[in-house]
Structure 1
Amino acid sequence: MNKPTGGNGPRGVAEARAYAEDQWTRALGIGVDPHEYRRVTGALGSRADWCPALRRTGHAYLERAERAGRAGAPVSAVSPVSPVSPVSAGEYLLTAARWFHLATLVPYEVAGVAAPTGPEARAEMARAAAEADDALGRALAVREPGARRIRGEGFTGWLRGPRDAATAAGAVIVIPGLDSAKEEFLDVTDALLARGLAVYAMDGPGQGALAATSFLRPDYEQVVGRVVDALGVPRVGLVGLSLGGYFAARTAALEPRVAAVATVSGPFRLDWAELPAPVRDILTRRTGGPDAARAFARRVDLTDLAPRVTAPLLVVDGDQDVIPGVTNGEPLARLAPHAAHLRVPHGDHLLGNARPDWLPRLADHLAGALTSAGTAM
């Protein structure tokens, strides 16, 4: 049975604001409007309000999309005579997907007070993940009718760009992390698409649309191998973000069809005993229990695999990304034979506060490596 969550009194408000502040740059990286984020999260009475409030915001954008999708319908009562186009519907749907994904984040334990993650809370987060997935699919149907939903054992996602991935300049798989999903990294996908690449943004086991029905697995290369088979391409690039960086590096070491790779805030090694309680809690929930979480953390170690990452590799780290128990990417960049290490002094985890300092270079790295026969960084 969960402990009380602090209620809607001053303590509950303070806890909610602290959690919202911790997620500030992540929300900016996801792409929600910063002023709206402040308004929505500033009205929270407790951490238990996080998921319901953010889902309501997502549903408000779905309603705007419905209005915008009807030819000549007004955007709102503020502008009752202004016609809008289906393009606006697509934009609203993408924004809804972002808010729904944010709603899936688990408000962690604070000062011994359990996070609101009982059965009802977990069910609501699962609904939010399904809503994010649905909103993204509806947005792509409007904005990119050629986008293809591709599913298989342990994965689901969207292939965007040239209709036939084999005819594109190259194909890249975007791999999310511990509690992220394909809806979180739309800007990464857009940067790669702008360079002529086909992009498959995926959810794997325990992630996004699959989080409610499966658990994270360390041998993610098995899943990526099936994705490459489904894409029908001879080689791919990988970009992995947060824990996805470990998945991407591990896959690059073990899957010979990986021709280029980039990691962003990816762990080189995890030490379960040193990890902060919120990280241990999320790992426990995403892997299926405490024993599974400890075993998973022990597997996250690239010491032996790093020298086998022979594809051109870009490792991106933020110097402000300091998490006890997490060894960042410097050893990976040092041990891999064709690696470059991009350190951003002011970057935090996932570098949502520093997008211009790394995203263009990451996209150029992957495009350059996939469109040339060499290993130029």
Structure 2
Amino acid sequence: MNAHEFAAAQWSRATGAGVDPHEYRRVTDALTSVADWGPSFVHTAHAYLTRAEAAASAVSSGEHLLTAARWFHLATLAPYAESARAAAEADRALGSALKLLEPGARRVSGGGFTGWLRGPGSALGTVLVVPGLDSAKEEFLDLASALLARGLAVFTMDGPGQGSLADATIMRPEYEQVVSRVVDALGVPRVAVVGLSLGGYFAARAAALEPRVTAVATVSGPFRLDWEQLPGPVRDIMAARTGGTDAARDFARQVDLSALAPRITAPLLVVDGGQDVIPGVTNGEPLAALAPHGTHLSVPHGDHLLGNARADWLPQVADHLLAAMGAMGAMGA
């Protein structure tokens, strides 16, 4: 795949993450190879750090820092020797932005996770935003904003093998253990969880096995993986994140929600894009069918992560979690 083909493949994901589409075109049109991707995106991110330093207000500085965090994260989507440094810079930029824009935001870290708790202490409930195979907390800032706008608190996180922790930890299927530690650290009685891409599997698994998960949504989450059919680049990323090819093969084998789906008693919304067709991946419709309170939302023109169709799912996901958390709150759960 050449640079322009790679850029076209990442277009919806990048713009869905909130970068300016015109700037994305300018940056990617100048690429001569995929190897240029990481350095070019990091260079663009540094330009926003410079803007943040020169900004006339804290708000402007914070907004530039959020944009820098997005570009630093996106730099890691292509093979890049400095990916760990870019992920660390994304993490720092996000933290600096929140200190300016949301002084009440709190960094919370523990065994195999780190992230930011945002929103009022009087929030109706807390939502964990769980990233996927090569995503991170900096990718889903618009989803976090939608949840915050509805009066919910949000914990945007990196787990094992994700984002700022990717260089020092490996990804494991038992993500419910991470969610349990997060809930303990946050000191809340219950949470909702929304998982994106592979994070959808993590969210569904946590909802089945951690009773304090009382509402859940998945976006482009796999119901089942078939290692032999997965595209080579996906297998390569999975091997890098799980500790090698054998570990990745075993990881993929365990991504199967057939037995766990009936155990998800929380209200569940499963979102799939009709154009999201990845070999070796079974999308979420069977999950919604098997879960006792599952609903399936299929967006026919949506692609993977539905960055090309946010209006067709993002408000619905946020409203689903708000309604579910509100109902549980009314019952005193």
Q: Normalised by the shorter chain, which TM-score bucket?
A: over 0.9
- Matches of 1:234 and 1:214, distance apart in 2: 28
- Matches of 1:296 and 1:274, distance apart in 2: 14
- Matches of 1:288 and 1:48, distance apart in 2: 23
1:67 is displaced (CA, Å) by 0.7
Provide Cα deviations, 1:309-358, integer angstroms capped at 9, x if missing partner.
00000000001000010000000000000011000000000000000000
Matched letter for residue 288 of structure 2 = A
Find 2:162's aligned residue among 193, 207, 232: 207
Find 2:106's aligned residue among 148, 166, 174: 148
Identify the residue that residue 54 of structure 2 maps to in structure 1: 67
1:174 is displaced (CA, Å) by 0.3
- Matches of 2:279 and 2:113, distance apart in 1: 30
Identify the residue that residue 134 of structure 1 maps to in structure 2: 92
1:138 is displaced (CA, Å) by 0.3
Matched letter for residue 272 of structure 1 = W
Matches within 5 A, 1:2-81: 15-68=2-55
1:86 is displaced (CA, Å) by 1.5
Matches within 5 A, 1:1-377: 15-68=2-55, 84-106=56-78, 117=79, 121-122=80-81, 124-162=82-120, 164=121, 167-373=122-328
- Matches of 1:319 and 1:136, distance apart in 2: 32
Q: Secondary structure at the match of 2:140?
A: helix
Q: Secondary structure at the match of 1:273?
A: helix
**Which structure 2 segments of 5+ residues have no match?**
none
1:151 is displaced (CA, Å) by 0.3
Root-mean-square deviation (CA, aligned residues, Å) is 1.1
- Matches of 2:58 and 2:323, distance apart in 1: 35
Q: Secondary structure at the match of 1:53?
A: helix
- Matches of 1:29 and 1:180, distance apart in 2: 12
| Structure number, greater radius of gyration | 1
1:247 is displaced (CA, Å) by 0.1
Q: Secondary structure at the match of 2:240?
A: helix
The alignment's TM-score, normalised by the length of structure 1, stands at 0.86
1:198 is displaced (CA, Å) by 0.5
Provide Cα deviations, 1:242-300, integer angstroms capped at 9, x if missing partner.
00000000000000001100000000000001111111111111111000000000000
- Matches of 1:25 and 1:364, distance apart in 2: 23
- Matches of 1:19 and 1:288, distance apart in 2: 25
Provide Cα deviations, 1:72-118, integer angstroms capped at 9, x if missing partner.
xxxxxxxxxxxx21210001000000000000112xxxxxxxxxx4x
Identity of aligned residues (%): 73
- Matches of 2:189 and 2:169, distance apart in 1: 28
- Matches of 2:144 and 2:177, distance apart in 1: 22
- Matches of 2:17 and 2:316, distance apart in 1: 19
Provide Cα deviations, 1:8-37, integer angstroms capped at 9, x if missing partner.
xxxxxx701110000000011100000000
- Matches of 2:316 and 2:123, distance apart in 1: 20
- Matches of 2:40 and 2:225, distance apart in 1: 33
Provide Cα deviations, 1:36-75, integer angstroms capped at 9, x if missing partner.
000001101111100000000000000000111xxxxxxx
Q: Secondary structure at the match of 1:372?
A: helix
**Which structure 1 segments of 5+ residues have no match?**
1-13, 69-83, 107-116
- Matches of 1:155 and 1:54, distance apart in 2: 26
The alignment's TM-score, normalised by the length of structure 2, stands at 0.98
Q: Secondary structure at the match of 1:151?
A: strand
1:196 is displaced (CA, Å) by 0.4
- Matches of 2:251 and 2:58, distance apart in 1: 45
Identify the residue that residue 76 of structure 1 maps to in structure 2: none
- Matches of 1:270 and 1:349, distance apart in 2: 15
Question: Aligned residue pairs: how many?
Answer: 330
Provide Cα deviations, 1:215-265, integer angstroms capped at 9, x if missing partner.
111000000100000111111000000000000000000000011000000
1:182 is displaced (CA, Å) by 0.2
1:372 is displaced (CA, Å) by 1.1
